[in-house]
Amino acid sequence: MIWNADNGDGTYTNPILYADYSDPDAIRVGEDYYMVASSFCNAPGLPLLHSKDLVNWEIINYVIKKIPEDRYEKPIHGCGVWAPSIRYHEGLFYVCFPMPDEGIYMCTAKDPYGEWSEPVNIRPGAGWIDPCPFWDDDGKAYLVAGVAKSRIGYKSVLYMQEMRDDGMGLLGEPVKIFDGNLNDQHTIEGPKLYKRNGYYYIFAPAGGVKTGWQTVLRSKYIYGPYEYRVVMRQGETDINGPHQGAWVDTVTGEDWFIHFQDVYAAGRIVHLQPMKWANGWPVIGRCVNNREYGEPVRTYKKPDVADTKYVKTEPQTSDDFKGRKLGLQWQWNANSNDKWYGFSKRGLVLNAVYKNSAYGDVPNLLLQKWPAPEFECVTTIDISELTDGDEAGVVSMGMEYGVLAFCRSGSGVRVHTVKGVQKFDNNLVSETKEDINEVTVLPKDTKEVYVKYVVKRIGERDLNEQERNFPEESVSVYFGTDGYTYEKALEMISVPGRWVGVKNGVYCVSEKDRTDGYAIIESVNYSR
């Protein structure tokens, strides 16, 4: 296994997912747990994970095949699908998600493993984010949401609005229910709404992703006024944030809280915390010195799920493509096109797609999340069917990215590396600089190449005076032609993408707008 939190002795060690499942929300339906997370401009969007015990998770589906709106045929880094929520009401699963420039969307499904409905924009327009639907005891429905300063000009405000009981539209006018600008809850966002013992509770992180805390609001009335309390802080632990997540319970009545931690290059990884109630307020994590708030735990006893059967598992990574379909671990850099790929007996066929942008903005990069703090990934590529001007290779994608390319060119196969840097302005890429370096030329009859992608933890880094002691990883990329001996071609210090962790994957492009060339990805194998 690459990363598994289950210690096998009735305990687990955080994080439960060392992968970039940012802004997680989760529910329990019977003995089953379902989790969704942000996906930004990557497609398919909105990964859906399943667990039986809150510790062992696997990917089971995506809620949307493509990101709504035509502009996502190209990567728009940091835009697209932000923090979603998932709920179950009267036999139907609901996933509500924001696109900060386009609106608030709703999808439904009777079977979470099956087809989800096409997304409906229930609140068109920019600015609202992090929505969560709620159905009250009297049959009325509501939506709580936050705001994005980058789109609306202000932040730290939560709104409540009545919703149609089918979840497919909003009613009346929004009501401002909490303003973190008026107190010490700046940057409050990510609200999740619940009801317990006659009180409405809104779990909402504040203070910022990397340095914040978890707050809970409480009121007897849906529109407030709400009192608030901080219920979890980083304290003396090394689990910074701790940020946005979900309250879930077990069949035995235990309460737990899922949240994320930003670890910089690897993205926003997922933790599981015990939760207790005291005087009508939750305390998340381990209570220290009888404080009103808890601190995150590192190792703890597993949730008591009674006789529920579970298997030790983790999100998918390696792929040999024998099933003639993409594994659920894969996402494209933008909305995909069926003409980009196919399958043969030997593996995944990547057609050479015309490249008219910098590598970081190529839509047909096929990527997956880093699965662990350290790992190796060996990719076997058949390049024999590339034609002149075509290339295939491996990419490490972040705001600073690296590429190892094999380019068919006349008398041989040119091997070159690319180091790229993206700069952003007004939420869009404003400038990209790329440094291209030729490594060697392989013989024209070279058929298979092997690429080893290695991530190593090399120390810690400070991002600024407040954001300190984050993991620092190196990325090294090697290549060979026999599967045994490798030559180092590229090394770089990892930098995350726009609100996402580094992803690694494969691609095939061409300098020609028409080509019959292609590469075959025979296998992708991960190991620790």
Q: Is 72 helix (H, G, I), strand (E, B) or coil?
A: helix
| Side-chain-side CA neighbours of residue 345 (13 Å) | 0
| Cα–Cα distance measured from residue 20 to residue 25, given in angstroms and rounded to the nearest whole number | 13
Alpha-carbon separation of residue 322 from 48, 327, 345, 346, 352 (angstroms):
23, 10, 7, 8, 21
- DSSP class of residue 340 equals G
Closest CA to 177 of 131, 223, 130, 127: 223
CA distance 451 to 484: 11
What's CA 65's distance to the chain center, in Å?
Answer: 15
The answer to whether residue 137 is catalytic is no
For residues 443 and 71, give the distance between their C-alpha atoms in angstroms, rounded to a whole number: 41
The token duo for 486 is 């490798």
Largest CA distance in the chain: 77
Among residues 53, 130, 189, 400, the one annotated as catalytic is 189
184 among known catalytic residues: no
Which conformational region is residue 166 in: left (phi greater than 0), alpha (psi within -120 to 50 degrees), or beta?
Answer: alpha
Which is nearest to 292 in space by CA: 368, 359, 214, 349? 214
264: helix, strand or coil? helix
Instruction: Return the closest-CA partner of residue 243 out of 205, 199, 272, 187.
Output: 205
- CA 259, 260, 266: angle at the middle one, nearest 5? 160
Active site residue: 23, 53, 382, 400, which one? 23
Cα–Cα distance for residue pair 413/437, rounded to 1 Å: 14
Distance CA 238, CA 45 (A): 31
Closest to 280 (Cα-Cα) out of 217, 206, 213, 235 = 217
First-to-final CA distance of the chain: 8
Do 256 and 310 contact (CB within 8 A), yes or no? no
Amino acid present at 412: G
Q: In the numeric block, which tokens belong to residue 254?
A: 């235990």
List Cβ neighbours of 345 (8 Å cut-off, separation of 6 or more): none
d(CA 302, CA 256): 10
Q: What is the β-pairing status of strands 503-510 and 353-354? A: parallel
How far apart are alpha carbons 80 and 64 in whole angstroms? 12
Residues identified as active-site: 23, 189
